[in-house]
Structure 1
Amino acid sequence: MEKSEYKVKIVGAGLSGLIAAKVLEDHGYAPEIYEASDSVGGRIKTDLVEGYQLDRGFQVLLSAYPKALEYLDYESLELQELLPGAVIYENAKPKTIGDPLRASSLILPTVFSGIGSFPDKLKILSLYADLKKLSVTDIFERKETTTLACLQDKGFSGEIIEKFFKPFFSGIFLEPDLETSSRMFEFVFKMFGEGLAVIPKKGMGEISKHLARQLKNTKIHFNTPVKEVKEGEIILESQEAITTNASIIATEASSLVSNLKNQETQWKSCHNFYFETEKRTIEKPIIGLITDKDAIINNIFYHTSVATESNGGKELLSVTVVKQTDLSETELLKKVAQDLKNYCGVGDARFLKHYFIKKALPKINPLHYEIDPTETQLTDTIFLAGDQLLNSSQNAAMLSGERAALGLIQALKN
């Protein structure tokens, strides 16, 4: 049988599924993807609302991600760079702190910010230097503790932990207490040190579309949810049975495979609000962090501080909430608007859209960077992919998709 004649099916058209299809194509196969929604992207999508590009949840791509460098064409994505730092709102006053080695414009603001001591700033540079010497594999083999314990062990002051590290990494890890593994913290910190946070000109959803455009021999079935994956077939929600030689589940598999029913992935959630404003309170492309413990919002970012393909004419403001709350959507919106006015000086915000991202990041313990292709094999013909297998990052999603495809290819050869 020719490779292109094998019935290879992929469930899910997120990053993992798209990378799996790319690897399979590169090896001569012609897979088919079954996607429940009407577009590619999974958790990384961009909507167009009143002319504005709204990413479903504030996200960035770290340009130093190894698999992003391997599979993405940065030039065609027209990546827009964010400054390596943050504007920290303390007592409603903005103070800027950042990496002066990579952005000279941040030298004076950082020195005179009053955020953290001079030894704290030296420790940050020292941490960058130490992690630069380690491979990402080395980092994920180190002893695991919490991010908070890691920072305390490294001698950072309580002030800089509370005013910078907590709000900054809470927005990345989607939990307010820095309970996330120290491995993840050091990996992300290394990626920030070796590259930049970037956003494609057409929004984060363009990454998925970019990968999909690379597929030449893959058929994607949209609006086609899968009910069950078995040996030799997948069952659609419509009850149609599709014959397979092998399958990759590039989404949460617990509901699709009978022997995984009690192994459902636990998820972190967040709220993301978008507003239109007349002007920006942060002119440069840099994230704003809110440190006040009474504030519900964690971070803000003006998407119109970088070039965008589509623009509604004014300024687009993204607001992220990572704290757990029992407030109704109306009550939460009111609290967010109050916080914007009280802590960030934003009083003219017109509400555009609210996203509650129930499954924003998987909760994983312990964390890993690598996975052998054989470890993605669940049964003789079923393979698993997704960041939930490794660590909650776009890099892990791409790496796991690659490994699942390689595992499937090896199994078919055998």
Structure 2
Amino acid sequence: MAKKSSKIYIIGAGISGLVAAKTLEENGYTATLLEATGEPGGRVKTATIDGVPFDHGFQVLLTDYPQAKKHLSYDALNLHYFKPGALIFKDGKTERIGDPLRDRSAFWPTLSASIGSLGDKFRIYQLTRKLKAKSIAQIFATEEQSTSDYLKAYGFSEAIIHNFFKPFFTGIFLEEELNTSSRLFEFVFKMFGEGYAALPAKGIGAMAGQLVGNLTQSDFQYETEVSKVSAKEVHLKNGKKLRADIVISTLPLDTNGQITTQKVAWKSCDNLYFTVEKPTFETGTIGLVANTNCLTNNLYYLFEQQQNGDAVLSVTVVKKHQKNEAELVEAVVQELKKECGIQVKTFIKNYHIQQALPDIKNLSMEPSSSSIKHPLGIYMAGDHNLSGSLNAAMASGEAAANAVISDLKA
């Protein structure tokens, strides 16, 4: 018999925790979310300053994510869409590569771009077709190799890998060598080929806001840091203990149920914002710097946003460095001028994101029963259990909640 009055705690109000709460509510259960910070969203966060949304890190919603289509209302998010492809800055030249099948204006620029051979461009088309025909389940059942090895084995030249794939997927995977699993590469490439990269008008954090707004029964306790959990008890860092019937943790745990940061390796990045007198390329275009000696990896102008009448530019740095903020800002400003022809007006802010993406191997599409249930009887969620993406965060939250529901009904 279902115990719909059971006391359910969810540790963490990030995307996986919010989707877990949503799934529970949809099945008649309620939960209390314990969040260490003062707001929901976890790593999906936006700060609004003078009406301008500043995302913490360059994050996009890939509109064909199966989980996002299930759990989010795109119309309510008022999405702005990026053009398929990218603008590539290399050796003082600017070249565009895009998807002529969805954007006719990209045909001749893509065909004439010197970033790779005609064979490379045809292979991109072939790969797009191949992955459209390949199911997500098939992708995650394929033997893993590094993305770099995958691209070489597919026949792509060093030129197209260096000029396009490396800067583009470095910005997504947050690592320069493309050591990330080919499973995630195929999945992301398929998502780009079938949908669009987009941002909510109010920033990426609007997704978390929408999920919270749709929760009518769940309770939130912010500024509530958890130190340890068991199947029937939650230990808060302030010494208080909470009795529980069910615990879902979106944070990694050790074998004793202690919250730990050491179980997961993390990738980091810097996200800098500047003002520019006016955009130097079209809004909705992602710019890539193909010079591997540069700190700057990717950049874009914020959609329909200005600060004091000036355009706002977002720049992502993935490369590891030892510079302080002032040194980093100065280096990026000089690179933007030399590599992209962009004259920065003012520096606004830098977000150094130490835990931007989990660095994991043996990626999965859905969590296994063993990964959902901790040996102590705690239900586990979080993208660190799957593949380090928004889709994985949602899938893990939904799977953990469904496991709870199944056990309560047993």
Report the TM-score, using the length of structure 2 for normalisation: 0.96
Distance apart, 1:336 and its partner CA: 0.9
Matched residue, 2:168: 168
Q: Secondary structure at the match of 1:140?
A: helix
Residue 279 (structure 2) aligns with: 280
Pairing 1:382-393 to 2, within 5 Å after superposition: 382-393=378-389
Q: CA deviation at 1:261?
A: 5.8
Query: 1 CA distance for matches of 2:282 and 2:398?
Result: 39
Deviations 1:254-289 (A, max 9, x none): 49814x869610000001100111111112411000
Determine the C-alpha separation between the residues in 2 that align with 1:16 and 1:112.
Answer: 43
Deviates more, 1:7-16 or 1:231-240: 231-240
Q: Indicate if the aligned counterparts of 1:61 and 1:199 stay in contact, CA closer than 8 A.
A: yes
Confirm whether residue 358 of structure 1 aligns to residue 354 of structure 2.
yes
Across the aligned residues of Structure 1 and Structure 2, the Cα RMSD in angstroms comes to 1.8
Partner Cα separation in structure 1 for residue 254 and residue 351 of structure 2: 25
Question: In structure 1, how many angstroms separate the alpha carbons of the residues matched to 2:261 and 2:41?
Answer: 27
Corresponding residue for residue 249 of structure 1: 249
Question: What per-residue deviation string (whole Å, max 9, x for no partner) do you get for residues 320-360 of structure 1?
Answer: 01111111222111111111111111123311001110000
1:375 CA displacement: 3.9
Is the CA contact 1:385–1:397 (under 8 Å) kept in the aligned structure 2? yes
Q: Which runs of 5+ in 2 are unaligned?
A: none
1:3-50 CA distance string (max 9 Å, x none)? 442100001111100000001111111100000111111001110124
- Aligned mates of 1:62, 1:285 — CA distance in 2: 14
- Does the alignment pair 1:20 with 2:20? yes
Aligned length: 410
Matched, 1:197 2:197: yes
What do residues 151-175 of structure 1 show as CA deviations (whole Å, max 9, x unaligned)?
Answer: 1101111111100000000110001
Measured in 2, the distance between the counterparts of 1:312 and 1:18 equals 35
Within a 5 Å distance, the mapping from 1:12-411 to structure 2 comes to 12-254=12-254, 257-258=257-258, 264-303=263-302, 306-307=303-304, 313-372=309-368, 375-379=371-375, 381-411=377-407
The alpha-carbon distance between structure 1 residues 151 and 351, as it changes in their structure 2 partners (threshold 3 A), is: same
Q: Deviations over 1:35-87 (max 9, x none)?
A: 01111110011101243210000110100100001111111111111000111
- CA offsets, 1:222-274, max 9 Å, x none? 1111111123110112211111001000123349814x869610000001100
- The one-letter code of the counterpart of 1:338 is Q
User: Is residue 52–residue 312 contact of structure 1 (8 Å, CA) maintained in 2?
Assistant: no
CA distance in 1, matches of 2:121, 2:313: 29
Relative to structure 1, is the Cα distance of residues 350 and 256 closer, same or farther in structure 2, using a 3 angstrom cutoff?
Answer: farther
Whether the aligned pair in 2 keeps the contact of 1:289 and 1:298 (CA below 8 Å) is yes
Within 1, Cα distance between the matches of 2:3 and 2:27? 8
Task: Give 1:236's aligned amino acid.
Answer: L
Partners of 1:315 and 1:295 lie apart in 2 by 23
**Structure 2: distance between partners of 1:262 and 1:105:** 47
Residue 380 of structure 1, CA deviation: 5.7
Q: Secondary structure at the match of 1:354?
A: strand
Preserved CA contact (<8 Å) 1:170 1:178: yes
Q: Is the 8 A contact 1:373 1:404 kept in 2?
A: no
Give the secondary structure class of the aligned counterpart of 2:37. Answer: coil
Q: Hey, what's the Cα distance between the residues in 2 that align with 1:216 and 1:193?
A: 36
SS of 2:180's equivalent? coil
Give distance in 1, aligned partners of 2:256 and 2:17: 16
Post-superposition CA distance 1:368-393 (Å, at most 9, x none)? 11124564011464111000001011
- Structure 1 stretches of 4+ with a deviation exceeding 6 A read none
* SS in structure 2 of the partner of residue 162 of structure 1: helix
Counterpart CA distance in 1 for 2:388 and 2:199 is 18
Q: Does the aligned pair in 1 maintain the 2:8–2:244 contact within 8 Å?
A: yes
Residue aligned with 2:278, SS: coil
**Aligned-pair distance for 1:143?**
1.3
- Preserved contact between residue 337 and residue 349 of structure 1 (Cα < 8 Å): no
Residue pair 2:301, 2:312 contacting (<8 A) in 1 also: yes
Give the Cα–Cα distance (whole angstroms) in 1 for the partners of residues 63 and 398 of structure 2.
19
Q: Deviations over 1:281-339 (max 9, x none)?
A: 11241100001122111011111xx345x865321100101111111222111111111
Over 3 Å counting, the alpha-carbon distance change for 1:59 and 1:255 in structure 2 is farther
- The two structures have a TM-score, normalised by structure 1, of 0.95
Residues 1:360 and 1:255: Cα distance change in structure 2 (over 3 Å): farther
In the superposition, relative to structure 1, how do residues 75 and 133 fare at CA in structure 2: closer, same or farther (>3 Å)?
Answer: same
- Aligned-partner Cα distance in 2 for 1:31–1:172: 33
Query: How much has 1:200 moved relative to structure 2?
Result: 0.4
Take 2:256 and 2:122, find their aligned partners in 1: how far apart are those partners? 50
Q: Closer, same or farther in 2 for the Cα pair 1:116/1:262, shift >3 Å? A: closer
Give the secondary structure class of the aligned counterpart of 2:141: coil
Paired amino acid for 1:132: K
Note closer, same or farther for the CA distance 1:242–1:318 as it changes in structure 2 (3 Å cut): same
C-alpha contact (below 8 Å) 1:45/1:56 kept by paired residues: yes
Distance in 2 between the 1:257 and 1:302 partners? 43
Higher mean displacement: 96-105 or 377-386? 377-386
Q: Distance in 2 between matches of 1:169 and 1:262?
A: 26
